[in-house]
Amino acid sequence: MELEQMRQLDAIARRGTISAAAEELHLSQPALSRSIRRLERELGQDLFDRTHNSAQLNKAGRLAVDHARMFLRDERAMRDAFADLSRRQRTLLVGTVAPAPVWRITALTVERFPGTLLNPVLLPEDEVERRLMNREIDLAVTLHPMILPTMGSVRLMTEDLYAFLPKDHCLASRSSLSFADMDGEDFLVLSQVGFWMDMLHRNMAHAQIVEQADRVVFEHLVRTTRLISFVTNITRQDRREIDRIAVPITDADAHVTFYLSALEDAPERVTEIFGWVRCLVEA
Amino acid sequence: MELEQMRQLDAIARRGTISAAAEELHLSQPALSRSIRRLERELGQDLFDRTHNSAQLNKAGRLAVDHARMFLRDERAMRDAFADLSRRQRTLLVGTVAPAPVWRITALTVERFPGTLLNPVLLPEDEVERRLMNREIDLAVTLHPMILPTMGSVRLMTEDLYAFLPKDHCLASRSSLSFADMDGEDFLVLSQVGFWMDMLHRNMAHAQIVEQADRVVFEHLVRTTRLISFVTNITRQDRREIDRIAVPITDADAHVTFYLSALEDAPERVTEIFGWVRCLVEA
DNA sequence: AGTAATTACGAGGTACGTAACAATC
DNA sequence: GATTGTTACGTACCTCGTAATTACT
């Protein structure tokens, strides 16, 4: 009794005739007929009421089909379980305070580690640190190096914030701006930007900040409204065809450095990637 | 992915090494090793942590073993279901008012229909009739022919009852007895004798009847006590080495004729046997 | 005629066993 | 040195496809 026979039984039940099932299974009619005969001999029961040109499932045959489908469910479950395991083993969870550093890490590693997926998890800094220690995430991106002895930290990149203003906005002619200059204005900010949102609220207590989760809608609003939005040295290029002006922000909070950290006793696939990134950014 | 590989995986998990499992499976070590390698390639995952002389199941391997055992449970269930079906298809349910007629039917049919099993179900006459009509049983043995048009009945055999007395019993010298002669005595009767038990109670209101279900115990008691028991023309031969005397009973109730009945539109395997028995007993 | 199933026969592929090899306990 | 596992190679079996046959619609 083999799984292949179960697949054949299911196909015959679904398609109604041995011929049709044989076609579906990319098998000749005689081959399928023989295979079913073998199964019948092994079970000691005919599974079909046969005439010379038809083979209808009998009572025992329907019983066999029911069992066959149990096997096929098991097979599906096993394949799914392994596909999931495989995907999970290719995926690193990256706790991060902002999205851009993960883009950077991906760019640095994609050709050296093809197949590896970085799954960003946006979290506050203290939560990133906690989860790394608890091994709930594989890599951590924070605004400060993590100095605990069990891990390594490396300065990954800096990101500088710019106000992104309509060209005719009254602030657009300025060569630089501070948060104080903009406090009280209306803003449009993409969701899922991590610590940036908190930082904006902290520095501009009187700002009206509209948050938009859908990137397409966000882009549309940037083009069609006068709400102030933001770009960074990282995202500027992607927005360059938008008819707005990026004005640098002078506050210290608008210039941040990200640090990448990993536990030193992490699995090899983690330390390998961490080591590769460190090697690149330190060069 | 094939069931054989699931059996192999289970064997390796149980035996601990590929070598031991190969031996159990009547397979060479290299063959089993290769088969597992094929499975690993198909699943895209190693299932073992390998050194040069050991192969221990890893996390994925244990997952695979769990799934493999689901397959094996399914296989067991399927084989059991078919064994049960096969047994049931070889078995005819015979509703009967007494056991002896089924022995007779078995004797008449065993060589013509080897493999067929007759499963006697002891019931009162009216219940036998009802179940045959309801198709809950395949054959019916009653004390009267069944005359409904949907069935055939045939006179199967007669059975005559004898008192079976210790040789020194005061009634043992009689050439014949009636139930009235014995009423008030103590009796030993085997269980599962069908209508006979009712008939004895009906004819001997004051009898003390000890019922014994275990045949071995029954035989022992017949040999070692003075309780009156019974034999018939059918069972006499089996008891002939027992030191007792069989005295015929004259009452009409002690001489019965059994009739075998079957529905005319019963399955072929039933009508075949019924026809064969009718052919023999009518000759 | 056309469809559907079974039997006969030759071919190809797959998985087996034996043998050789490697490495650990 | 014994055990355990992997690789190499030749072989045998098993199942496949093609072709021929039967029978029912």
Report DSSP letters for B77-88, one per residue: HHHHHHHHHHHH
pTM of the model: 0.75
Domain containing residue B154: CATH number:
3.40.190.290
Residues A79 and A101 in one domain: no
CA B11 – CA B127 distance, rounded (Å): 52
Residues of A in contact with B82 (CB under 8 A): 43-45, 60, 63-64
Residues B133 and B16 in one domain: no
Q: Is B253 strand, coil or helix?
A: helix
Handedness of CA A236, A238, A241, A244 (dihedral sign): negative
> Straight-line distance from CA B53 to C1' D1, in Å?
15
Residues B81 and B109 in one domain: no
B88: distance to nearest CA of chain A, Å? Answer: 12
Is any atom of nucleic acid chain C found less than 7 Å from the CB of residue A29?
Answer: yes
User: Which of these three, B52, B85, B118, is where a domain ends?
Assistant: B85
Burial of B120 (0-12, 13-18, 19+ CB in 10 A): buried
Whether A53 is covered by a domain: the verdict is yes
CA distances from A183 to A28, A48, A179, A208, B221 (A): 77, 81, 6, 9, 110
The reported pLDDT for the residue numbered B151 is 74
Domain holding B172, by residue range, is 97-283
Domain containing residue A78: CATH number:
1.10.10.10
Quick: pLDDT tens for A76-109.
Answer: 999 999 999 999 989 999 999 999 999 999 999 9
Residues of B in contact with A45 (CB under 8 A): 82, 85-86
Contact status of A85 with chain B (Cβ, < 8 Å): yes
Residue nearest to nucleotide D3 (CA to C1'): B53
Question: In sequence order, what are the residues at sequence separation of 6 or more whose Cβ sits closer than 8 angstroms to the Cβ of residue B230?
Answer: B161, B162, B163, B164, B187, B189, B196, B200
Closest residue by Cα to residue A63 from A35, A43, A38, A77:
A43
CA A179 – CA A247 distance, rounded (Å): 12
Quick: pLDDT tens for A206-246.
Answer: 999 999 999 999 999 999 999 999 999 999 999 999 999 99
Average pLDDT, chain B: 93
Residues A245 and A118 in one domain: yes
Residues B156 and B277 in one domain: yes
Which one of B39, B71, B84, B89 would you mutate to disrupt binding with A, by most A Cβ within 10 Å of its Cβ?
B71
Quick: pLDDT tens for A18-44.
Answer: 888 999 888 889 899 999 999 998 888
Q: Say whether A4 and B4 touch across the interface (CB within 8 A).
A: no
Whether B269 is covered by a domain: the verdict is yes
Q: Does A148 score more than 90 pLDDT?
A: no
Residues B68 and B205 in one domain: no
Residues B112 and B246 in one domain: yes
Average pLDDT over residues B238-249: 94
User: Which of these three, B64, B85, B106, is where a domain ends?
Assistant: B85
CA A59 – CA A61 distance, rounded (Å): 5
User: Which of these three, A42, A60, A85, is where a domain ends?
Assistant: A85
The reported pLDDT for the residue numbered B217 is 96
The answer to whether A258 and A157 have CB atoms below 8 angstroms apart is yes
